[in-house]
Amino acid sequence: MEKALRSFLLTLLLLYHYVMPTSAMIIRTNVSTDQLTLLSLKSQISSYPFHYLDESWFLNISDCHWVGVTCDYRHQRVKSLNLSNMTLTGKIPRDFGNLTFLVSLDLRRSNFHGNLPQEMG
Ligand SMILES: *[C@@H]1O[C@H](CO)[C@@H](O)[C@H](O)[C@H]1NC(C)=O
Ligand SMILES: *[C@@H]1O[C@H](CO)[C@@H](O)[C@H](O)[C@H]1NC(C)=O
Ligand SMILES: *[C@@H]1O[C@H](CO)[C@@H](O)[C@H](O)[C@H]1NC(C)=O
Ligand SMILES: *[C@@H]1O[C@H](CO)[C@@H](O)[C@H](O)[C@H]1NC(C)=O
Ligand SMILES: *[C@@H]1O[C@H](CO)[C@@H](O)[C@H](O)[C@H]1NC(C)=O
């Protein structure tokens, strides 16, 4: 009995030391740079009457499943962003150029100001 308890406690200790930090790390490093860039865009939006983004643009959902976002299948990076017909008003953040896989951007019917980063042309 005592032996069983001891090995149980040892297992707990091992779990605590080796497994917990690893899973905590996975959760933290899971947030992609594309997610941060898109959230920085979201934070610059001053008006979005239909709250489209509030349905999916959260860190606990992969950005490849966010409304308006399409990912490059192989790299799981944002390939196109289509925020047309959402009547958003806001500002393009300076970090927008961090979406290095972006090849298509559709902001029709939205009212964004600010410059697209030079590298996007
Ligand atoms: C964009 O990239 C720059 C340079 O690598 C970095 O300092 C910055 O934190 C990034 N911004 C976002 C929103 O990830
Ligand atoms: C994700 O987070 C948001 C805001 O914190 C919450 O409302 C939503 O229920 C969460 N979704 C999932 C799938 O956990
Ligand atoms: C985090 O990674 C796990 C495992 O790879 C994946 O299932 C999950 O969708 C990811 N979460 C986000 C927010 O990307
Ligand atoms: C963006 O979405 C709208 C509405 O769904 C669609 O009409 C338009 O063709 C899309 N734009 C691009 C560049 O795919
Ligand atoms: C975009 O919105 C306009 C006006 O509400 C509508 O006429 C048009 O059909 C919409 N386009 C798409 C592709 O949803």
What is the 3 state secondary structure string of the chain? CHHHHHHHHHHHHHHHHHHHHHHHHHHHHCCCHHHHHHHHHHHCEEECCCCCHHHCCCCCCCHHHCCCEEEECCCCEEEEEECCCCCCEEECCHHHHHCCCCCEEECCCCEEECCCCHHHC
Q: What's the CATH code, domain 32-120?
A: 3.80.10.10
Residue with CA at minimum distance from ligand 4 atom 10:
82
The sheet with strand 77-82 has its strands ordered as: 69-72, 77-82, 104-106
**CA angle (115, 76, 35) in 5-degree steps:** 50
pLDDT of residue 41: 93
Per-residue pLDDT of the chain (121 residues; tens, 9 = 90+): 667 766 666 665 555 555 554 444 444 456 789 999 999 999 998 887 767 888 899 999 999 999 999 999 899 999 999 999 888 899 999 999 999 999 999 998 888 888 787 767 5
Say if ligand 3 is within 6 A of residue 82 CB. Answer: no
Provide the pLDDT for residue 36. 94
**pLDDT number for residue 113:** 86
* Cα-to-centroid distance, 63 and ligand 5 (Å): 24
For the chain, domain boundaries: 32-120
For ligand 1, whether the C-beta of 95 sits within 6 Å is: yes
What is the pLDDT, as a whole number, of residue 76?
Answer: 92
